[in-house]
C-alpha cells in the first residue's frame, strides 16, 4: 500500500511537471505577474472620486433581462423535451437495446460544452439570444434527461407491476405508475438546470449568443474598465441571489 502511494504521488508529480512545461506556468512567473493582476482588478473600480458609469445602466438592465429570458425558456423547454426520455433511456421502461442506445445519445449530448454549442449556433444562426437559447436548451435536455432517467430507475416497482398484472400497456405503466413518482424530482431537476443556465447565460454573450455577456464583451473591447466592473458586480450579485433562491426552493421540493 505504502509503495503504491509513492508510485501514485510520483505519477501525479510527473503529470503536473509536464503540464507546467506545456502551459508555461511557474511560481516565479506567477509572482512576476501578480502586480499586473492586481492592477487590472483595481481598474475595474472607479478611482480619483470618479463615479460609476451609470449611463450604461439601461443597456445593462436590458441585457440582464434578456439573460433571464434565455435561462427561463431554455430550462423549461429543455426539461419538457426531456420528459419522455425515460421511455427510451431508463432500465425501468426501455428494453436493453433501446436503453443502451438512449443512454449513449444522452452521454453524447451532455459531452458537448455549452459554450462550444453556443459558438457554433451563433456562427450559423447569427449573433443574438436565439443561439444562447438553443445551446442551453440542449444542455437542459441532456442534464434533466440524465437525472430523470436515474430517478426513474430507483422508483418503487410495485405500482408498475400492479398495472402490468391488470393488463396495462407500457405507456399506461409509465403515465400512471412511473411519472407520478418522479414529479417532485423532475421539478427539482428543472430548477437545478435553471440555476446552471442563469450562470451560463450570463457569459454566453462573450461568444455572441445574447445576454449580459454582450455588454461585457463590448465594454472590454472599448477598454471601458469601470463599465466592465459594474457589469460584473451587477451580474454576479443578481446571479448569486437567484442561485441562492433556487437552491432554497429545491430544498423545499425534495
Partner 1 sequence: MRAWRVFYTLLVVALVGWSLGGIQNSAPPNTKEIGEIIRQMFFPPKLSYLPDVLTGIRESIQIAALGTAIAAVLALPFGVLAARNLARLAALPFVGKLLLNAIRTFPEILLAIAFIKSVGPGPFAGVLAIAIHSIGMIGKLYAERIETVDKGALEALAATGASQLEIFRNGIVPEVLPDFLSFALYRFDLNVRSASVLGLVGAGGVGTLLQIQRLGGNWPEIGVIVIAIVVTVLLVDFFSAKLRAKLA
* Residue 176: other Cβ atoms inside 10 A: 14
Minimum distance, C-beta of residue 224 to partner 1, in the bound complex (Å): 12
133 is a contact residue toward partner 1 (CB under 8 A): yes
CA distance 225 to 219: 7
Which region, judged by CB under 8 A, interacts with partner 1, from 94-102, 113-121, 139-147, 163-171? Answer: 113-121
User: Which 28-87 positions form the footprint of partner 1 (CB under 8 A)?
Assistant: 29-30, 33, 36-37, 39-41, 65-66, 68-70, 72-73, 76-77
191 is a contact residue toward partner 1 (CB under 8 A): no
CA distance 38 to 1: 45
CA distance 144 to 187: 10
Torsion angle, alpha carbons of 162, 166, 172, 174, to 10: 20
Residue whose CB is less far from partner 1, 34 or 166: 34
Q: What is the DSSP letter of 233?
A: H
Tell me how far CA of residue 62 lies from CA of 3, 59, 68, 185, 243, in angstroms: 60, 5, 10, 33, 20
Which region, judged by CB under 8 A, interacts with partner 1, from 22-30, 52-60, 84-92, 176-184? Answer: 22-30
Residue whose CB is less far from partner 1, 59 or 243: 243
Q: What is the DSSP letter of 51?
A: P
Residue whose cell numbers read 454566453: 204
CA distance 155 to 152: 6
Going by C-alpha positions, the residue among 199, 189, 185, 191 that lies closest to residue 114 is 199
Which region, judged by CB under 8 A, interacts with partner 1, from 53-61, 143-151, 173-181, 203-211? Answer: 203-211
Going by C-alpha positions, the residue among 120, 148, 149 that lies closest to residue 134 is 120
123 is a contact residue toward partner 1 (CB under 8 A): yes
Single out the residue of 81, 83, 112, 176 in contact with partner 1 (rule: CB under 8 A). 112
111 is a contact residue toward partner 1 (CB under 8 A): yes
Interface positions with partner 1 (CB under 8 A): 12, 15-16, 18-20, 22-25, 29-30, 33, 36-37, 39-41, 65-66, 68-70, 72-73, 76-77, 107-108, 111-113, 115-116, 119-120, 123-131, 133, 199, 202-203, 206-207, 210, 216, 220, 232, 236, 239-240, 243-244
Amino acid at each position: 500500500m505504502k509503495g503504491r502511494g509513492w508510485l501514485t504521488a510520483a505519477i501525479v508529480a510527473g503529470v503536473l511537471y509536464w503540464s507546467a512545461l506545456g502551459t508555461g506556468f511557474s511560481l516565479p512567473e506567477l509572482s512576476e505577474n501578480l502586480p499586473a493582476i492586481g492592477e487590472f482588478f483595481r481598474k475595474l473600480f472607479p478611482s480619483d472620486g470618479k463615479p460609476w458609469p451609470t449611463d450604461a445602466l439601461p443597456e445593462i438592465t436590458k441585457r440582464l433581462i434578456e439573460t433571464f429570458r434565455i435561462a427561463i425558456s431554455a430550462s423549461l423547454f429543455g426539461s419538457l423535451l426531456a420528459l419522455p426520455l425515460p421511455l427510451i433511456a431508463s432500465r425501468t421502461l426501455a428494453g436493453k437495446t433501446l436503453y443502451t442506445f438512449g443512454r449513449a445519445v444522452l452521454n453524447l449530448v451532455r459531452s458537448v460544452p455549452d459554450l462550444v454549442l453556443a459558438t457554433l449556433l451563433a456562427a450559423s444562426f447569427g449573433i443574438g439570444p436565439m443561439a444562447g437559447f438553443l445551446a442551453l436548451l440542449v444542455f437542459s435536455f441532456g442534464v434533466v434527461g440524465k437525472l430523470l432517467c436515474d430517478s426513474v430507475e430507483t422508483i418503487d416497482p410495485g405500482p408498475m407491476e400492479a398495472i402490468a398484472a391488470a393488463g396495462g400497456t407500457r405507456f399506461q405503466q409509465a403515465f400512471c405508475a412511473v411519472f407520478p413518482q418522479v414529479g417532485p424530482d423532475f421539478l427539482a431537476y428543472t430548477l437545478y438546470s435553471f440555476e446552471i443556465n442563469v450562470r451560463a447565460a450570463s457569459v454566453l454573450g462573450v461568444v455572441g449568443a445574447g445576454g449580459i455577456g454582450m455588454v461585457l464583451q463590448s465594454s472590454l473591447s472599448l477598454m471601458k474598465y469601470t463599465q466592465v466592473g459594474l457589469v460584473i458586480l451587477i451580474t454576479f450579485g443578481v446571479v448569486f441571489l437567484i442561485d441562492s433562491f433556487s437552491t432554497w426552493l429545491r430544498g423545499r421540493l425534495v
